[in-house]
Amino acid sequence: MTPRAPHTQVAVIGAGLAGLGAAIQLKRRGLHSFTVYEKAADLGGTWRDNTYPGAGCDIPSHLYSYSFAPYRDSTVRYPRQPEVLAYLRRCAGDHGLVPHLRYGTEITSLRYDDTTARWILGTATGAEHTADAVVTAVGQLSLPKYPDLPGLDGFVGTAFHTARWDHGHDLTGRDVAVIGTGSSAAQLVPEIAGRVRRLHVYQRSPNWVLPKPGERFHPLLSAALRTLPGAHRAYRGLLFRRSEAVLLPALRRGRTAALLALMARRHLAAQVPDPKLRARLTPSFAVGCKRIVLSSDYFPALTRENVELVTDPIARVTEKGIETRDGTLREADTIIHATGFRTTEFLAPMEVTGSGGRRLDAQWRHGARAHLGIHVPGFPNLFLMYGPNTNLGHNSVTLTLEAQAAYVAQCVQLLTDHGARGRRIVLDARPEALEAWQRRVDEGARRTVWTDDCTNWFKTADGTLTNNWPHSATLYRRLTARPDPAALRLVPADRLPAR
């Protein structure tokens, strides 16, 4: 007899910031029949994977934390990677998640069984699990993107991605090439520039860079946070309101855009005295079209004698280094890809099959779409954390993640309550609800700078905005405050049509 597949009421896929947040909210509602599946041997998601020198958060810790697990350090404003990872581990321990974590289990496929109204989870080992509901929390920054460069496979040196850092490879005294100039590169380059022999930084297009405040609080503010009741909450509220009032209008081409651009230009002028280098570091697109970089040490690193900013396009990689289109070969023994992630490939590489055998990749062939960024019609009891159009370009993503986690827990509670009354149901989004939601997203997107002619990780190759939420975080939290009966279908599990 074939053994029955292990079953759980709720399967949470991924133990990063999103997955842990969803699991905590389930616990807070008294829902304990869930399993968190994690392909790695530890929790943390992107904060486990990104261990490159200088890795850290460019959102203040008081805002880059859940309100139900508030950050309470009175000395550190911007946490480094180890501190964020430690915070996530504390969350898991404090909220009793450890018994629910199943490490070393990579979910490679999800298939909805119309007969049993359950999801079948396939694993990399061939084993199967089942669940009444599935919460995907695999993140948008989990699949490293490597550049498609001729000759890269023939490079005889060492090459790796920032998210797959080779800690056994000492960079001291080496000739290093860093490809990419986004947030990861801005953190990495100042950390390694002083110990490599030669560093070439390859830039496709420049970024708007704003000065980053010190990682640690001023002693007076630190003392206030340490002694005044409510100071942490007040500081978090101030950070939130500032982001909504300053950054969001700038992304909408509003009154603060010119101010941010002026601040960035002054920052560049103060740190880069060479006018030719300044010109190459000055963007030609609107501030915010690409993700704004916060750094006070990136520009000075580029002015070092052993550092060269290369803006001529890469033609090919040779055995010895990188050749640009002007014919110049710059030798390197190490290539570091600071080239970001495959952000628009939501849920990849999992194969997801919904009701009636429909394939999610086919349904999303023109770009990922989900009602509230959470529901996909035809995929009952499937809930997406950090799904399409739920990333924030102006505020902390934990705000949308917390809203989603609370919303998903309410949906699971709804399913549980019906089951307790002997009426097992499944929850599915109405197609018209998705269409109305997408119109709201598209209308908002047209008002933002993200539709301008610049390359960013928020949109697909054809320019479809799939990642970012173009409205305020306040609006998103209001829209996800509770499940809307008009947008959802509650169907008895034995009568779900295979449309």
The pLDDT, as a whole number, for residue 418 is 87
- Distance (Å, whole) CA 414 – CA 226: 41
Q: What is the pLDDT of residues 381-400, one digit of tens each?
A: 999 999 999 999 999 999 99
Average pLDDT over residues 474-479: 98
- State the average pLDDT for the chain: 95
pLDDT at 303 over 80: yes
The pLDDT, as a whole number, for residue 495 is 61
pLDDT band at 1 (very low <50, low <70, confident <90, very high): very low
Q: What is the pLDDT of residues 19-34, one digit of tens each?
A: 999 999 999 999 999 9
pLDDT at 346 over 50: yes
Q: Which two tokens stand for residue 46?
A: 């992107």
- Distance (Å, whole) CA 258 – CA 287: 8
pLDDT at 377 over 50: yes
Q: What is the pLDDT of residues 118-142, one digit of tens each?
A: 999 999 999 999 999 999 999 999 9
- Distance (Å, whole) CA 197 – CA 347: 40
- Distance (Å, whole) CA 377 – CA 397: 25
- Distance (Å, whole) CA 307 – CA 323: 17
The pLDDT, as a whole number, for residue 107 is 98
pLDDT at 497 over 70: no
Least confident of 84-93, 150-159, 358-367, 421-430: 421-430
* Residue percentage of the chain with pLDDT more than 70: 98
Torsion of CA 364, 370, 373, 379, to 10 degrees: -100
pLDDT at 161 over 70: yes
Q: What is the pLDDT of residues 71-122, one digit of tens each?
A: 888 999 999 999 999 999 999 999 999 999 999 999 999 999 999 999 999 9
Closest alpha carbon to 270 in 310, 295, 300: 300
Q: What is the pLDDT of residues 236-270, one digit of tens each?
A: 999 999 999 999 999 999 999 999 999 999 999 99
H/E segment holding residue 261? helix 257-271
- Distance (Å, whole) CA 309 – CA 317: 17
pLDDT at 3 over 80: no
pLDDT at 498 over 70: no
Phi, psi of 136 (to 5 degrees): -90, 130
- Cβ density class 294-306: b for 16+ within 10 Å, e for less: bbbbbbebbeeee
Average pLDDT over residues 423-452: 95
Residues in the chain: 499
Q: What is the pLDDT of residues 6-15, one digit of tens each?
A: 999 999 999 9
Average pLDDT over residues 298-325: 98
- Distance (Å, whole) CA 433 – CA 81: 39
pLDDT band at 489 (very low <50, low <70, confident <90, very high): very high
Pair 208, 290: CB distance under 8 Å: yes
pLDDT at 320 over 60: yes
pLDDT at 499 over 60: no
pLDDT at 319 over 50: yes
- Distance (Å, whole) CA 122 – CA 280: 49
- Distance (Å, whole) CA 399 – CA 109: 29
Instruction: Burial-class residue 42 by CB neighbours within 10 Å (0-12, 13-18, 19+).
Output: middle
491: left (phi over 0), alpha (psi -120 to 50) or beta: beta
Q: Which two tokens stand for residue 377?
A: 């019609």
